[in-house]
Structure formats: structure tokens, C-alpha cells
């Protein structure tokens, strides 16, 4: 939908505002039932780009236009930045573990791009941030219009700091990546999309990334079908912290199955 019709009408660029005017989208009030049943407070935006025409749907449009910390969903553009800057050359390069135990067995060993995306290994991307420097990180984010493009505040800036992005903006970013329209090398965009593969069937592929800031949980990506992709971005509040994280996938999968964007459970 052409960057979702440039996605948002932005308010004053110099002002730090967290809410933007949402693009034209059809509300899906029936989706509220899955959020209520979970229970969870949040939003979900879906762009069904399958033939014959695109359809943009949303639950809670006001929240979908509100910016939150992207948390580990930022690993998608961050991997692109690292590849583009030469901080890592490909998915086979080994990223040596520093020997620091971080309370996660999957993190406490050498990594590569694929494992760091699958395990959401924070220390790998903290190392990339140090190699790139905040000035270059900001320049890359501004280049692709990623949220408020701020690398300031507490570290890591994409979890604890000032970086923030809305569900609508994230949906726009995912479309650009899917279509290889980002201002990065084609091979880098293709590689990052390969790293995002989560599940697949005979005629569909789910590419997705989780995110959790401690208070906000994300699940964002798309499902590829022969007739076209279905993009989705959801976020929820997580007052019960780890106890709420499974709700991200649970709600999203129910919504996607309801529009035949994922196969029904056998």
C-alpha cells in the first residue's frame, strides 16, 4: 500500500510526540475478543496484500499509532546495519562469546547471525552498537525513517533508551524489507529475511521477530503465500512480565487463522 500511503501524517518533527495520525484502516472489533480472552491490552495491525486487493485492518488504531520501545524487534534493522557497515560479513561468521554468564544458556556461547536472531541474543547487538557507534546507528535509522530514530538514553537504546516506533511505522518498515526497497544491499536484505524464518508449510512461510522491553511485548513479521504476503504487527502490555509473553503469539495466531493467513490447527 505504498508505504501505507506514506503511513502517517507526522506532527512537528522537532517535537517528541508519541502519537501520530493513523492511516485509513478498517477496524476489526471482533479481534477485541481474543485480546480480552488472553487477557491483554494492546493493538494489532494487519496488511493483507494477497490478490486481488490489499486490505488494511486494525484493532485499537489509537494505540497502533503510538510509539513504544521496539525492544528486540530492532534486531531486524540492526542486523542490516551491521552487515552494511561491515561489522559482520555474513551468517557464517562466528561472534565469540565473552565468557560472561547472562542467565540464558542459549546466550552463553559463541553466536552467529542466525543464532543471535533466533535466540534474541542481546549481547551480540550491543557489540554491533559499539562497533557502529551511536552516530552511525542514528544515521542508518534516519535513512530508513525508523520511528523517532533516537539512539539516546539508557543502554541498550532500543530497549531501555529513547528509541520508539509505532505499530503502523513498523508495518511500513516490514513492507519495505519484504520488497527489497530499503537503501541497503540486496544481498543483505535477502539474508535478514532468511534469518527471520520461524515456520513454514508446503505453500507458506512465516517470518517474524519477537520483542520485549519488560513492559511492552511485540510480535511482528509476515506470512508469504503464493497470492502475496500478509504483514502483521502486534504489541501488548506485559504487567505479568514473563507470564504475559506467550500471549503475543497466541493472539496473533488466532487473528491470522481467522483471515486464513495461517493454516488452521490440525
Taking the C-alpha atoms of residue 174 and residue 161, their distance in angstroms, rounded to an integer, is 22
Taking the C-alpha atoms of residue 240 and residue 98, their distance in angstroms, rounded to an integer, is 32
Q: What contacts 58, CB < 8 A, 6 or more positions away?
A: 22, 25, 26, 27, 28, 43, 44, 45, 46, 64
Q: What is the DSSP string of 201-248?
A: -SS-EEEEEEEE-SSEEEEEEEEEETTEEEEEEEEEE-TTGGGGTHHH
Is 72 known to be catalytic? yes
Catalytic: which of 18, 24, 72, 115? 72
Q: Which three cell numbers stand for residue 264?
A: 488452521
- Beta-carbon count within 10 A of 113 CB: 24
Please list the active-site residues. Answer: 72
Amino acid at each position: 500500500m505504498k508505504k501505507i500511503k506514506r503511513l502517517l501524517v507526522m506532527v512537528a518533527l522537532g517535537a517528541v510526540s508519541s502519537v501520530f495520525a493513523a492511516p485509513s484502516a478498517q477496524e476489526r472489533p471482533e479481534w477485541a475478543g481474543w485480546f480480552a480472552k488472553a487477557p491483554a491490552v494492546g493493538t494489532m495491525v494487519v496488511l493483507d496484500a494477497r490478490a486481488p486487493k490489499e486490505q488494511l485492518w486494525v484493532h485499537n488504531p489509537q494505540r497502533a499509532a503510538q510509539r513504544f520501545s521496539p525492544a528486540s524487534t530492532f534486531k531486524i534493522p540492526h542486523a542490516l546495519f551491521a552487515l552494511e557497515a561491515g561489522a559482520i560479513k555474513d551468517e557464517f561468521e562466528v561472534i565469540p562469546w565473552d565468557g560472561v554468564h547472562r542467565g540464558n544458556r542459549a546466550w552463553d556461547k559463541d553466536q552467529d547471525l542466525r543464532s543471535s536472531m533466533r535466540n534474541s541474543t542481546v549481547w551480540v547487538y550491543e557489540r554491533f552498537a559499539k562497533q557502529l557507534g551511536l552516530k552511525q546507528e542514528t544515521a542508518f535509522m534516519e535513512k530508513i525513517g525508523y520511528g523517532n530514530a533516537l539512539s539516546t538514553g539508557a543502554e541498550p537504546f532500543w530497549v531501555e533508551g529513547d528509541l520508539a516506533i509505532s505499530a503502523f511505522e513498523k508495518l511500513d518498515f516490514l513492507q519495505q524489507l519484504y520488497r527489497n526497497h530499503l537503501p541497503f544491499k540486496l544481498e543483505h536484505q535477502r539474508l535478514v529475511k532468511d534469518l527471520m524464518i520461524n515456520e513454514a508449510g508446503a505453500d507458506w512461510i512465516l517470518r517474524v521477530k519477537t520483542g520485549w522491553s519488560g513492559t511492552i511485548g511485540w510480535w511482528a513479521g509476515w506470512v508469504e503465500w503464493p497470492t502475496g504476503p500478509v504483514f502483521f504487527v502486534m504489541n501488548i502490555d506485559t504487567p505479568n512480565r514473563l507470564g504475559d509473553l506467550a500471549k503475543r503469539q497466541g493472539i496473533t495466531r488466532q487473528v491470522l487463522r481467522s483471515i486464513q493467513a495461517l493454516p488452521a490447527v490440525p
